[in-house]
């Protein structure tokens, strides 16, 4: 028996989809594997397919071939990854486990059956993930650079379009009527070609934009607001970019201009307040107060939400939505966190306006990673 400890931390997951596993392992593995923390050191248990790569590329203090533990489990008539983990844990005299809140129920039940006490962590399994290292910030800055460049592709595409007599845009090359999918293709083709994977890119024109998460499917029409929200994941690092702009091809109506200017002013308020120690609820309230003062309160109209009815921002890292949040829920920002500031206003029948930048919280302000102009009209 090796050095013993009564308790350990356990993750069983693949690192392609589980941000905690990617954070602790530092490498992409498509199939589930095992990570165990003993006395503050993380051990990775890998199949023969992955173990040599893990020894070269992972962040684990120690990397183990899982085959001996699999054999040990089989002698006890156990099988599966939970059984492999149990064999390793029993070798180290572990009886108590802390697991992530999303730990698979079936694994937890098996481990309990075999005599382990299993407890889910209270809150985030790695709360330290919310504070980004400078290396992580560089990864996020690269992701946001690609996001910005893909937004420029959207701008170029819209600029090249003509306006048909029916008000629907025509493609600058083919002359065909333009749908959201065509504009989305210009954005996503660029991202894929540059090592980033887009995910449900939003291109919502006109009334489709009244629903903040409607990705858009209809025709792109002139003189109506077009919300474009791009949030790709860089394949090499796993970090995400996130930005939103709202455009009008042609001339915006006075009503849309007023909404746009109000949202832009609201974002300026939010950006000016982001710093170490800032209360997210106060940031959110300052923006909603400004919207109220400009005549855009948040309320239900004929059973539908109108105004600003989502949070001001969220953390970004190995997940597109992670801690911290900037909303009605209590939360204090800390230096090194990366958050979005994305106020919006939405009205059924008209559509919506949202503007989103991604920033790094610093001691006395924030660094804007988006670095992209805010422009409503495209001629």
Q: What is the pLDDT of residues 164-200, one digit of tens each?
A: 999 999 999 999 999 999 999 999 999 999 999 998 9
Q: pLDDT band for position 1 (50/70/90)?
A: very low
Residue 13 has pLDDT above 50, yes or no: yes
- Residue 4 pLDDT greater than 90, yes or no: no
Helical axes 81-91 vs 67-75, angle rounded to 10°: 90
Mean pLDDT, to the nearest integer, of 206-231?
98
pLDDT digits (tens, 9 = 90+) for 37-94: 999 999 999 999 999 999 999 999 999 999 999 999 999 999 999 999 999 999 999 9
pLDDT value of position 320: 98
Domain ranges of the chain: 7-125, 130-378
The CATH class for the domain spanning 130-378 reads alpha beta
| Percent of the chain scoring above 90 in pLDDT | 98
CA dihedral 265, 267, 268, 271 (to 10 degrees): 170
**Each residue of 41-75: b (16+ CB within 10 Å) or e?**
ebbbbbbeebbeebeeebebeebbbbeebbebbee
Banded model confidence at residue 5, pLDDT cuts 50, 70, 90: low
Query: Looking at residues 133-142, what average pLDDT do you find?
Result: 98
Cβ partners under 8 Å of residue 165, min gap 6: none
pLDDT of residue 196: 98
Can you tell me whether residue 92 is helix, strand or coil? coil
Residue 312's closest CA among 352, 349, 346, 339? Answer: 339
CA atoms within 13 A on the CB side of 361: 30
pLDDT at 118 over 60: yes
Residue range 293-346, pLDDT digits in tens: 999 999 999 999 999 999 999 999 999 999 999 999 999 999 999 999 999 999
Residue matched to tokens 């939360």: 331
* pLDDT value of residue 139: 98
List, for residues 257-285, the tens digit of each pLDDT value: 999 999 999 999 999 999 999 999 999 99
Share of the chain above pLDDT 70, in %: 99
Torsion angle of C-alpha atoms 365, 370, 373, 376, degrees rounded to 10: -110
**Per-residue model confidence (pLDDT) at position 2:** 46
**223 contacts: CB under 8 Å, gap ≥ 6:** 167, 248, 249, 250, 251, 252, 253
Gap between the Cα atoms of 259 and 272, Å rounded:
20
Q: For residue 253, which phi and psi values (nearest 5 degrees)?
A: -70, 160
Mean pLDDT of the chain: 97
Question: Are 329 and 313 a contacting pair, CB within 8 Å?
Answer: no
Phi-psi map region of 351: left, alpha, beta (phi>0 left; psi -120 to 50 alpha):
left
Angstrom distances, CA of residue 298 to CA of 197, 304, 325: 34, 11, 20
Three state DSSP letters for 191-225:
HHHCCEECCCCEEEEHHHHHCCCCCCCCECECCCE
Asked: is 7-125 a CATH 3.40.350.10 domain? The reply is: yes
């Amino acid at each position: 028996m090796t050095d013993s400890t009564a308790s350990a931390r356990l993750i069983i997951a693949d690192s392609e989809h589980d941000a905690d596993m990617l954070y602790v392992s530092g490498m992409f593995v498509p199939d589930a594997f095992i990570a165990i923390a003993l006395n503050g050191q993380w051990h990775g248990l890998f199949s023969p397919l992955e173990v040599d790569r893990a020894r070269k590329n992972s962040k684990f203090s120690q990397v183990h071939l899982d085959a001996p533990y699999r054999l040990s489990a089989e002698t006890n008539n156990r099988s599966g990854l939970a059984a492999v983990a149990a064999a390793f844990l029993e070798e180290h005299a572990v009886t108590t486990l802390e697991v992530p809140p999303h730990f698979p129920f079936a694994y937890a039940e098996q481990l309990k059956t075999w005599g382990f006490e299993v407890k889910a962590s209270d809150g985030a399994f790695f709360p330290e993930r919310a504070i980004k290292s400078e290396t992580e910030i560089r990864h996020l800055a690269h992701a946001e650079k690609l996001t910005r460049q893909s937004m420029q592709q959207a701008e170029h595409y819209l600029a090249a379009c003509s306006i048909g007599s029916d008000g629907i845009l025509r493609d600058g090359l083919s002359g065909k009527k333009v749908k959201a999918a065509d504009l989305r293709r210009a954005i996503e083709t660029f991202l894929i070609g540059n090592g980033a994977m887009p995910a449900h890119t939003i291109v919502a024109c006109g009334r489709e934009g009244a629903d903040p998460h409607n990705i858009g499917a209809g025709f792109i029409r002139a003189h109506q607001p077009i919300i474009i929200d791009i949030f790709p994941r860089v394949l090499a690092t796993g970090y995400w970019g996130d930005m939103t702009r709202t455009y009008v091809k042609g001339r915006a109506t006075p009503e849309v201009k007023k909404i746009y200017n109000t949202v832009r002013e609201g974002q300026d308020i939010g950006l000016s307040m982001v710093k170490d120690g800032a209360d997210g609820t106060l940031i959110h309230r300052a923006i909603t107060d400004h919207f109220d003062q400009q005549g855009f309160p948040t309320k239900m109209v004929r059973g539908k939400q109108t105004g600003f009815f989502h949070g001001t921002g969220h953390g970004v890292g190995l997940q597109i939505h992670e801690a911290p949040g900037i909303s009605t829920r209590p939360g204090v920002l800390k230096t090194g966190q990366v958050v979005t500031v994305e106020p919006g206003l939405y009205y059924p029948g008209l559509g919506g306006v949202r503007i989103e930048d991604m920033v790094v919280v610093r001691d006395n302000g924030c660094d804007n990673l988006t670095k992209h102009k805010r422009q409503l009209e495209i001629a």
